[in-house]
Amino acid sequence: MKKHDIKAFDLWKETMHVMGRFGVLLCTSDKDGKPNAMNVAWLTGGLIWGRPIITVLVRTNRHSFNNIELTNQFTVNVLPPEFTDALLYLGTASGATEDKFAKSKLTPAPAQAVKAPLIAEAVVHYECRIVHKNDVIAENLTPDIRSLGANHRVYFGEIVAASASPNAAQRLS
């Protein structure tokens, strides 16, 4: 389905609705352009430095972490509910050892403004370039949060392009 450009946060309410139910997909590519996707369960968005920013946390032992470090960009892809099984799979498998796109039956697609791929089946896409990153400091977390794991890097990605299917809001409700 043909996508159209949207403003950075036009479909943010719908994105957060899906995020709260089963997550969204973060996509990266390695130095050779091989795509990888992972389910992201921690994501925020807003205006920082006068720019539309998506903030994601990625565990430092993930294959996607290495890709982001190499390319300094990522995409966030919002899939409709019929792709819940693919989202669950992509949250548990490693792109370092298997072709997650082939097994999930999702299709990588070129982005407009970054080299990281989009997912063709997603109905909302955010293309981001990293403008800042820092590590979570375990001793600064409250004990209940620290128990969830502190080995994450926080990436602040400026949304440089966003697009959606014409019926995205309805498909994500």
Q: How much is the pLDDT for 103?
A: 83
- How many domains are contained in the chain? 1
Residue 23 and residue 91 in contact, taking contact as beta carbons nearer than 8 Å: yes
Q: How much is the pLDDT for 76?
A: 98
Q: Supply the CATH number for residue 104's domain.
A: 2.30.110.10
Q: How much is the pLDDT for 62?
A: 83
Identity (one letter) of the amino acid at 134?
N
Q: How much is the pLDDT for 108?
A: 95
Q: How much is the pLDDT for 31?
A: 87
Map residue 169 onto helix, strand or coil: helix
What 8-state DSSP symbol labels residue 172?
H
| Residues linked to residue 128 through DSSP beta bridges, in sequence order | 74, 159
Q: How much is the pLDDT for 54?
A: 98
Q: How much is the pLDDT for 148?
A: 77
| Sign, CA torsion 135/29/55/146 | negative
Q: List average pLDDT for each run of 10 residues in the chain, which is 173 residues long.
A: 86 94 91 90 93 94 90 96 87 75 90 96 97 92 81 95 95 89
What's the token pair of residue 107?
A: 């299709």
Q: How much is the pLDDT for 92?
A: 78
The residue segments making up the domain with residue 109 are 4-172
